[in-house]
């Protein structure tokens, strides 16, 4: 990450973005590692359908609290410090959940992991968005989603290969997360605080040095002037969120977060082995088929990374959600007619491909862009809180709906929701390609709102 003080360096920006994106890797790994442990947890702790849902969704419930508090903490103490705390929580959760000797202890440690996921999911994208130059911001924030995807893939393959350890395999599946958590913790000490937080905190000289290293002296001076302009009136207050134009943006961001979760994708990610078992697969085959979800997830995430700055956010979202709608309807029909084998796997992979090419990645990009500088942390907390609440409801209710009404009813519900998402994106999501964060702010709320 060595660079000239005057010219800036793409490698420097890429380096700090990738380090921050490790929070996404841990997010993906920690959230989905539980999928491979479900048969063991059912047996070891004698879980019912509702208890199994709690084993999965307790982590997500904690994400709500992590997301709700992280924005304010990041505004006060800085983005970097909050990310360091999440790294510690990830490590504690990995070891604790893996070696828990009771279901209550297991839930406690998964709850700690959820706090870390919720905090990292809001702060890591903000860190990247506030550090990256305008022309590359969408692509670098997309690295965060790529890191989530790699974490999911790593958890699937880790689970598959650790399966051979026998009855205690589930313990090692969880404990494996301590390795990336330790790496994340150490590397965070190599990155700077974001320039926008530094300016907000009155550390303008330090912010100017960081901006210069990011994209050169000219960029640093111009960006500093714009950042100071958007912050010069006063610091943001929570009451600012209730102003009509500001509130509208918060609602749009929150709804986008909610829709990204209740479309059913995370039910597929976390309950994939059970879904494939419904289609006639055994445990080992189910875990192996689940690994294909991770592979499709990984490769399709490169689609928005490559095209987000060329095509734009809206076209990618609209196209992806349209395909999701069609494929989820297909999945509903397949389970209605009790289809088994390869056709179910193909349908599941097609749905995940569409989700990962659009809504999964671009939700984080858009949420990191649309909120104004002075209240970005608090607004992101609200959107993140909404997102994780929706995710918790999805993961808690999926096994209950599946047990009582059948998997066809669950997928039918998700297909209807996908139609609603398509309409929402068409009507309310703005195009932010090629605009600085300050230009987006001026476009969405107007200069007069800040007077």
Model confidence pLDDT, tens digit, residues 122-159: 788 888 888 888 777 777 777 777 888 889 889 988 98
As a whole number, mean pLDDT of residues 268-280 equals 73
As a whole number, mean pLDDT of residues 168-174 equals 93
In this prediction, residue 183 carries a pLDDT of 95
Residue 154 phi, psi (nearest 5): -60, -40
- For 87-91, 164-168, 266-270, 278-282, which range has the lowest pLDDT when averaged over its residues? 278-282
In this prediction, residue 241 carries a pLDDT of 67
Q: Is 178 exposed, middle or buried (0-12, 13-18, 19+ CB in 10 A)?
A: middle
As a whole number, mean pLDDT of residues 53-59 equals 83
Q: What torsion, rounded to 10 degrees, do the Cα atoms 173, 179, 184, 186 define?
A: 160
- For 92-101, 134-143, 177-186, 278-287, which range has the lowest pLDDT when averaged over its residues? 278-287
Highest mean pLDDT among 12-21, 244-253, 351-360: 351-360
Q: Is residue 373 within 8 Å of 437, Cβ to Cβ?
A: yes
Is 3's pLDDT higher than 70?
no
pTM of the model: 0.71
Highest mean pLDDT among 19-28, 262-271, 338-347: 19-28
Structure confidence at residue 13 as a pLDDT band (50, 70, 90): confident
Better-predicted residue by pLDDT, 247 or 254: 254
Q: Where are the domains of the chain?
A: 10-191+233-450
Cα angle 407-409-415, degrees, rounded to a multiple of 5: 105
Is 422's pLDDT higher than 60?
yes
Highest mean pLDDT among 67-76, 91-100, 203-212: 91-100
- For 65-74, 236-245, 368-377, which range has the lowest pLDDT when averaged over its residues? 236-245
C-alpha closest to that of 56 among 396, 422, 289, 414: 396
* Long-range contact pairs involving 82-85 (C-beta distance under 8 Å, separation at least 24): 82/119, 82/123, 83/20, 83/23, 83/119, 83/120, 83/123, 83/124, 83/127, 83/184, 83/188, 84/185, 84/188, 84/189, 85/119
Is 420's pLDDT higher than 90?
yes
As a whole number, mean pLDDT of residues 297-316 equals 86
Is 24's pLDDT higher than 50?
yes
As a whole number, mean pLDDT of residues 264-292 equals 72
- Between the alpha carbon of residue 210 and those of residues 76, 128, 219, 226, the distances in Å are 19, 13, 11, 15
Average pLDDT, the chain: 83
C-alpha closest to that of 17 among 181, 199, 172, 139: 139
As a whole number, mean pLDDT of residues 255-259 equals 93
- Between the alpha carbon of residue 379 and those of residues 70, 160, 187, 236, 262, the distances in Å are 11, 39, 28, 11, 21
- For 171-175, 202-206, 410-414, 435-439, which range has the lowest pLDDT when averaged over its residues? 435-439
- For 47-51, 86-90, 187-191, 207-211, which range has the lowest pLDDT when averaged over its residues? 47-51
Q: Is residue 377 within 8 Å of 35, Cβ to Cβ?
A: no
Query: Rounded to an integer, what distance in angstroms lies between the CA atom of residue 56 and that of residue 61?
Result: 9
Q: Does domain 10-191+233-450 have CATH number 3.40.50.1000?
A: no
- For 230-234, 410-414, 416-420, 445-449, which range has the lowest pLDDT when averaged over its residues? 445-449
- Between the alpha carbon of residue 220 and those of residues 4, 192, 302, 416, 442, the distances in Å are 13, 15, 29, 47, 20
């Amino acid at each position: 990450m060595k660079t000239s003080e005057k010219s800036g360096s793409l490698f420097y920006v890429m380096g700090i973005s990738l380090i921050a994106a490790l929070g996404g890797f841990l997010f993906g790994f920690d959230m989905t590692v539980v999928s491979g442990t479900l048969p063991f947890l059912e047996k070891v702790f004698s879980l019912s359908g509702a208890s199994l849902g709690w084993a999965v969704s307790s982590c997500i419930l904690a994400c709500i609290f992590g997301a709700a508090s992280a924005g304010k903490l990041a505004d006060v103490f800085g983005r970097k410090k909050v990310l360091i705390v999440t790294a510690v929580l990830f490590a504690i959760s990995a070891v604790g959940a893996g070696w828990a000797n009771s279901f209550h202890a297991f839930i406690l440690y998964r709850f700690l992991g959820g706090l870390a996921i919720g905090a990292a999911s809001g702060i890591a994208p903000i860190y990247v968005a506030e550090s990256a130059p305008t022309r590359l911001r969408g692509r670098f924030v997309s690295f965060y989603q790529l890191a989530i995807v790699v974490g999911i893939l790593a958890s699937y393959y880790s689970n598959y290969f650790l399966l051979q350890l026998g009855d205690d395999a589930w313990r090692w599946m969880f404990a494996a997360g301590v390795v990336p958590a330790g790496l994340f913790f150490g590397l965070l000490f190599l990155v700077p605080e974001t320039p926008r937080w530094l300016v907000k905190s009155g550390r303008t000289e330090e912010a100017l040095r960081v901006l210069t290293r990011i994209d050169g002296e000219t960029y640093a001076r111009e960006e500093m002037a714009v950042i100071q302009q958007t912050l010069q009136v006063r610091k943001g207050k929570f009451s600012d969120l209730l102003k009509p134009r500001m509130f509208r943006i918060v609602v749009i961001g929150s709804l986008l977060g909610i829709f990204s979760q209740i479309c059913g994708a995370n039910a597929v990610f976390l309950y994939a082995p059970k879904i494939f078992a419904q289609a006639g697969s055994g445990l080992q085959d189910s875990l192996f088929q689940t690994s294909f979800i991770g592979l499709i997830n990984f490769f399709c995430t490169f689609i928005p990374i490559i095209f987000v700055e060329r095509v734009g956010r809206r076209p990618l979202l609209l196209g992806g959600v349209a395909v999701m709608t069609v494929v989820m309807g297909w999945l509903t029909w397949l389970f209605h007619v009790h289809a088994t084998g390869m056709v179910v796997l193909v349908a599941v992979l097609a749905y995940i491909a569409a989700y990962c090419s659009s809504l999964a990645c671009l939700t984080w990009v858009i949420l990191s862009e649309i909120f104004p500088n002075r209240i970005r942390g608090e607004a992101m907390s609200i959107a993140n809180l909404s997102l994780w609440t929706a995710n918790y409801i999805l993961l808690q209710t999926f096994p209950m709906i599946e047990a009582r009404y059948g998997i066809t009813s669950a997928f039918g519900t998700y297909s209807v929701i996908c139609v609603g998402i398509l309409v929402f994106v068409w009507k309310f999501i703005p195009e932010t390609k090629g605009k600085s964060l300050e230009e987006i702010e001026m476009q969405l709320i107007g200069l007069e709102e800040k007077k």
